[in-house]
Structure 1
Amino acid sequence: MASARLPASRRHARALATLVAGVASLLLVACGGGGTQVDDRSLSQGDWTWNLPLSMPLPRVPASNPMSRAKVELGRFLFHDRRLSGNGLQSCGDCHLQRLAFTDGRRTAIGSTGDRHPRNAQGLANVAWNATLTWANPALTDLEQQMLVPLFGTHPVEMGLTNANLPTVLQRLRDEPRYPAMFAAAFPGEADPWTIGHVIRAMASFQRSLVSIDSRYDRWQRGEATLTAVELRGLNLFNSERAECFHCHVGFNFNDQVVHAGTTQARTPFHNTGLYNVDGLGAYPADSLGLITMSAVASDMGKFRAPSLRNVAVTAPYAHDGSVATLEDVLDNYAAGGRFISAGQPHAGDGRLNPYKSDLIPVIQLDAQDKADIVAFLRTLTDDAFLSNPDHANPFDPAASAP
């Protein structure tokens, strides 16, 4: 079953590897209720300070791209600048809207030329702590490397940069009156800071600054807020063996792939949640095969990274392909031990019987009140300050970025 679908997927994986290896040379040119205390800590990187609670470890930051306020601010502008796309019509921020925790509200993302991406746009809250950075590619482990894919990728086209149009794109940036001083401040002493490598380093720095740690749940942990009885029941269920949620959504970032400054060996698990079983033998849709695309291991069919649940109430729709509409639907699928899609519907099959489904997705005995309690708890993870922080905002025309 898996081998019949694999050749096209492996060709795509090789193309992705070629893209990363080929464009990486551009970077080399440029790089030359608990009452938790709050602790202001610094990585001693220029003027940048990480303001984090003691429960949140310092992030891993590459030595080749230390944080600075000037670099983060330049990165914010570039992240939201549509002139950075090949045709000048789309910015990174158009698929990652701040008010939606840097998702886009669509089932799957749409690139600058109209190509529809097979994946749901992931949120960027606390992305600096993610061990891997896409739904199912364990090789993409740092933001600088990962950014080559949306910028230069061709299947699908996202930002649409090519070697041919890159000089034009960089000239557009040179023509922005605010950028010369900003590039000079972000990369002092550089004879020519106008390179795609510097652009990528600035945007990676901005993304690392997207820290979400002030939800009502966080304030409750610090003794600054209360949770209702319903929310507390949901929290207790979430962390129980009965509901099983905490196995894949654990720790300060509510996921199971975390890396930080002190990490010596990162765990990078991927999971098949029984979302599909299109042939009765475990297959997923051709554009959603999962980790098998990279590993060529049959048992990796349908395996994807568990996303962080921070701000999850504003990041619908859900799953790697956006095929789950609401949090309530998510809970229904998990409680059933997978998703059943009836005959006549696209990708029909009984995901509950998928032979590659994770052992962490059994049938769970949750009644309607249990599910409502868990959803109520998940809504406490919304960080309104993060969703409106002016330090992250679109400096151009925010209204133009509506989906």
Structure 2
Amino acid sequence: MLNRFIATTICLALTAMLFGCDNAKKLDVSYKWPIIDGFPKPQVPTNNPMSHEKVALGKQLFFDKNLSANKQQSCESCHLQQYSFSEPLSVSVGSTGVLHRRNAPALVNIAYNKTLTWAHYGITSLERQILLPMFDESPIELGITGHEAEVLARFKTQEYLQAFNLAFPRQPVSFELIVKALASYVRSLISLNSPFDKYAYLSDDDAISAAAIRGMNLFFSERLECHHCHGGFNFTQSTGHEQQLIDRRPFHNTGLYYVEINKGEFGYPSKDIGLADISTLAKDNGRFRAPTLRNIRHSAPYMHDGSVATLAEVIDIYAAGGRNIKGGQYKGDGRANPMKSQFVKGFELTPQEKQDLLAFLDTLTDETFLTSPEHGMNKKE
């Protein structure tokens, strides 16, 4: 009982303490969120309230390759359900074959994220974020820019017109409505049915093993510091919901790189310097958003560039206080990066403790989320 109480308290500490805010955006009360009793609801823009009709339309659009100019990709091409709506590639590949510089983030509980890309503090709504893969030209993802009329015409079939009319009565099909429907579907991707949830929030003492409980205690300890960047019920600091008072948009340099950029000048590789790309501030070099750890076992590879293959390797990097790359293009000792987060200070683990920590991370897997036709497309669809 004590362990479960500690876990529940710590997970909700950063969020429950913020309850009571009366500035939360109003929600459509007709939409039933699949969340645990007592949990706050996600924030939803007032001009795009949730509805089951919008979610159904958004789901149809999410899996439709007609949304890319050349009909080669859908949103699902880079966000596959069995991988927690991420993909098993180091970096994404656009519809025209262009390699991107970043790993496709998992879309689990994305409705609770305060920021919605790896390193941009200004993109805080799904409606804005979704515009990037649709219309961005560098790099190209769906590649709609320059093909707007052609792509939009594909969604004026009888089937789609009926779906649009149910979701947005008496409104003509437009990219604005497509974006709103996609945002509604992605917001509906809620995962709160893991063994950890059953243990911590539903009082099921047998939901997780003794090894996982030991790993949980390590995770929430000051010795390892994991919960400082992966805290709250969504296991990430970047969290927002209807009752949150403080606008929290944290980004972290985890000592993954420390390469020589110019003679005597060191930092993250110039191909991706993280938040500094947007802020232009030197202090933001190498800072990225900490992703949720929910379903983390199924969203490999890891880090913003997919450069870490396994969770065991991730733990080793943090235990060392950063990554020391001894040769090659990115040679350098990330442990010495002066911009590194104060929480990435290194620690020692016995082999058993490492296995216990991995066992705990496995309890964050929600099998229903990864397999349910409610979220994905079954064979008949």
Same fold judged by TM-score > 0.5? yes
CA distance in 2, matches of 1:61, 1:44: 6
Distance 1:246 1:64 in 2: 34
Match of 1:328 in 2: 312
* Aligned equivalents of 2:101, 2:50: Cα separation in 1: 32
Cα separation, 1, equivalents of 2:126 and 2:80: 18
State whether residues 81 and 396 of structure 1, in contact with CA within 8 Å, keep that contact through their aligned partners in structure 2: no
Partner of 2:193: 214
Aligned equivalent of 1:15: none
- Matching residue of 2:109: 126
Report the residue type matching 1:227 in the other structure.
Answer: I
Q: How does 1:141-152 map to 2 (within 5 A)?
A: 141-152=124-135
SS, match of residue 52 in structure 1: coil
Give the CA deviation at 1:189.
Answer: 2.7
Number of the residue aligned with 1:387: 370
Once the two structures are superposed, the pairs formed by residues 335-350 of structure 1 within 5 Å of their partners are 335-343=319-327, 345-350=328-333
Q: What is the alpha-carbon distance in structure 1 between the residues aligned to residue 368 and residue 379 of structure 2? A: 20
Correspondence for 1:47: 30
Aligned length: 355
Q: Write the mapping of 1:245-394 to structure 2, written as runs, cut at 5 A.
A: 245-279=226-260, 281-343=265-327, 345-394=328-377
Question: Which amino acid letter does the alignment assign opposite residue 127 of structure 2?
Answer: E
> Residue deviations 1:351-387, cap 9 Å, x none?
0001111111102122222211111100110000111
Q: Assess if the C-alpha contact under 8 Å between 2:27 and 2:43 holds in 1.
A: no
**1:241 pairs with one of 217, 222, 227:** 222
Q: How far apart in 1 are the matches of 2:199 and 2:233? A: 13
The 1-side partners of 2:190 and 2:365 are apart by 13
Cα RMSD (Å) of the superposition?
1.7
Question: What secondary structure sits across from 1:391 in the alignment?
Answer: coil
Find the aligned partners of 1:329 and 1:95 in 2 and give their Cα distance: 24
Q: In the alignment, residue 273 of structure 2 is paired with which amino acid?
A: L
- Supply the distance in 1 between the matched residues of 2:314 and 2:357 (Cα, whole angstroms): 11
Give SS of 2:149's match. Answer: helix
Unaligned 5+ segments in structure 2 are: 9-25
Q: Per-residue CA shift, 1:121-164, capped at 9, x if unaligned? A: 001111011000000000100000011111111111011011x3
Where do residues 213-232 of structure 1 align in structure 2 (5 Å cutoff)?
A: 213-221=192-200, 222-224=202-204, 225-232=206-213
Q: Is the 8 A contact 1:131 1:268 kept in 2?
A: yes
User: 2:344 aligns to what SS in structure 1?
Assistant: coil
AA partner of residue 290 (structure 1): G
